[in-house]
Amino acid sequence: MGTRVIVGMSGGVDSSVAAALLARGGRGVIGVFLRNGVPEPEGPAALRGPPRCCGARDAADARRVADLCGFPFYALDRSEEFERLVGDFVADYARGRTPNPCVSCNRSVKIESLVRLADALGAETVATGHYARIARGAGGAARIRRAADLAKDQSYFLCALRPDQVRRVEFPIGDLTKSEVREVARSLGLPVAEKPESQEICFVAGRSYRDLVAARAPHAFRPGEFVTAEGEAIGRHGGVGAFTVGQRHGLGLGGGAPRFVLAIEPESARVVVGDESNLDRGEIRVESVTWPVGVPEGPVRAAVQIRHRHRAAAATVTPLPEDAARVVFDAPVRAPSPGQAAAFYGGEQGDEVIGAGWIGSTRRHGDRGTPFDTLRAGRRGDSSTGTSTSTRASSTTAVAAGAAGA
C-alpha cells in the first residue's frame, strides 16, 4: 500500500477509528468530509428522530478527530452529486421501483469522490469506516469481502463498486467488531467514542421518504386503485409512490386475510395486492451487472443477497448480453423488488462479492412465459417507464397467471 491515503470521514466513530488507525500506523492520512447540501432540521425538530449523518455537526466532529490525530482535514461540497442521487431516488419510486440509495451513493458519490481526490493529491488508496474487507489476488485483482463481524457487515452496500474502485479502497476496521471499534476510540481518546449511529437515509433528514417523493414527483401520488391478482378493484389509494413490493402495513384495506403489495403499475396507478405466498419468486433478471474480476464464461454458483438483512440464498447466476444476468434460486425467495441491488457472493470462503447489479424483473420457478414481476422497465438509469418490448402484458395479468400456477 502507498503511504498517502484519503480517508472519507462522516464524523461517526467508525470512520474516525479507521482514520486514527491508519495515522497511528504511519500512513499519510488526509481526512475528507463530503457535504451533501441537505438543510438540517432546526429547533425542536433537530432533537427528534434517530441520529442522521452528513450535517455540519458531523463535519465538526470529524475535524476534531483530525486535529487530535494530527492529520489535515477538508470538507468538500458534493451537493450536486447528491442532488443527482436524490433525483434518481425519487424517479425510482415514481416508477414503482424500490431504490437503495446507499448502494448507489457509495459507487457514484462517496468512493468516486475520494478516488478522484486521491488522483489529484497523489494518493494510491482511499479508505472508509465501512465494515467490510478486501480480498486481493494476483495481478491487482480485488473483490469486496464480508466483514469479520457479520452482524455489522456492510459489503452489500459496497457491492456495486467498479473494479477500479475496489482496487483502490481500504477498510481498516473490517476485522473488528463494533464493540472493539468503540474500545479503540476510547483508548485513543476520540471525542466520538460514544456517538450514536445514524439510522436513516441522509437526505431524508428526519421526514418520511414519502414526503420527499410527493414534493418532487407529485404524479406518483395521483389516486389509484388497489386490485387483486385477477384485476378486481377492492379499494383506493393515494398514489403508487407510497408503496413497495412486499409491503403489508399502511394499505388501509380492512378486514379479511392480510394483504401484501405484489406489484406496482405506475402508468395506471394501480397497486396489485394479494396473499403473502404470491410474493415468492424463483428467478430474477439483474441489470447493469458489474463483475470485479471479469465476466464468467458461463453459469456460476453463488449466494445471492437481494436486500440489506436478507440472508443470501443459493442460486445459479448466468451472465447475459448487455451487462445483465439471470439468477435462478434453488428455493423461492420472498419479494425481490425491482430497483434493489442484488449481490452475488462466492470465492473460496463464499464471502466475496463476485458480481452485483440491479433487479430489473422477477418471476416464479418454472414460469417461462410472462415474467411475474412488478416492473419491466429499462436498465437502471433509463428514464423510460413503459413496459419492455418483450412483453406487453400488465403486471396484473402476470400476477393472475402466476397465482393460477402456484
Domain boundaries defined on the chain = 4-187, 220-273, 278-404
Rounded CA-CA distance 264/257 in Å is: 20
Report whether CATH 2.40.30.10 matches the domain 278-404.
yes
**Beta strand pairing status for 132-136 and 224-227?**
unpaired
Rounded CA-CA distance 352/114 in Å is: 23
Give the CATH number of domain 4-187: 3.40.50.620
Question: Whole-angstrom distance between the N-terminal and C-terminal Cα of the chain?
Answer: 54
pLDDT at 46: 47
CA-angle at 317, arms to 311 and 322, nearest 5°: 120
CA-angle at 107, arms to 76 and 113, nearest 5°: 25
pLDDT at 247: 93
Q: pLDDT per position in the chain (406 positions), as tens?
A: 559 999 999 999 999 999 999 999 999 999 999 998 776 555 444 444 455 566 788 999 999 999 999 999 999 999 999 999 999 999 999 999 999 999 999 999 999 999 999 999 999 999 999 999 999 988 889 999 999 999 999 999 999 999 999 999 999 999 999 999 999 999 999 999 999 987 667 777 667 888 999 999 999 999 999 999 899 999 999 999 999 999 998 898 877 789 999 999 999 999 999 999 899 999 999 999 999 999 999 999 999 999 998 999 999 999 999 999 999 999 999 999 999 999 999 999 999 999 999 999 999 866 654 443 433 333 343 333 332 323 323 444 444 444 434 3
- Sequence-distant (6+) residues with CB within 8 A of 220 are 93, 94, 213, 214, 239, 240, 241, 266
CA-angle at 170, arms to 155 and 173, nearest 5°: 70
Q: Which of 54, 69, 159, 202 is catalytic?
A: 202
Question: Which CATH fold would you assign to the domain 220-273?
Answer: SH3 type barrels. (2.30.30)
| Bridge partners, 270 (sequence order) | 225, 265
pLDDT at 296: 96
Report the predicted TM-score, pTM, of the whole model to 2 decimal places.
0.86
pLDDT at 366: 63
Reply yes or no on whether 54 is catalytic: no
pLDDT at 344: 98
The greatest distance separating any two alpha carbons of the chain, rounded to the nearest whole angstrom, comes to 67
Residue 398 host element (H or E): helix 395-404
- Asked if residues 101 and 201 have their Cβ atoms less than 8 Å apart, the reply is yes
Reply yes or no on whether 105 is catalytic: yes
If we measure between CA atoms, which residue out of 287, 280, 291 comes closest to residue 399?
280
pLDDT at 404: 39
Rounded CA-CA distance 208/234 in Å is: 26
**Beta strand pairing status for 300-305 and 313-320?**
antiparallel
Rounded CA-CA distance 20/183 in Å is: 13
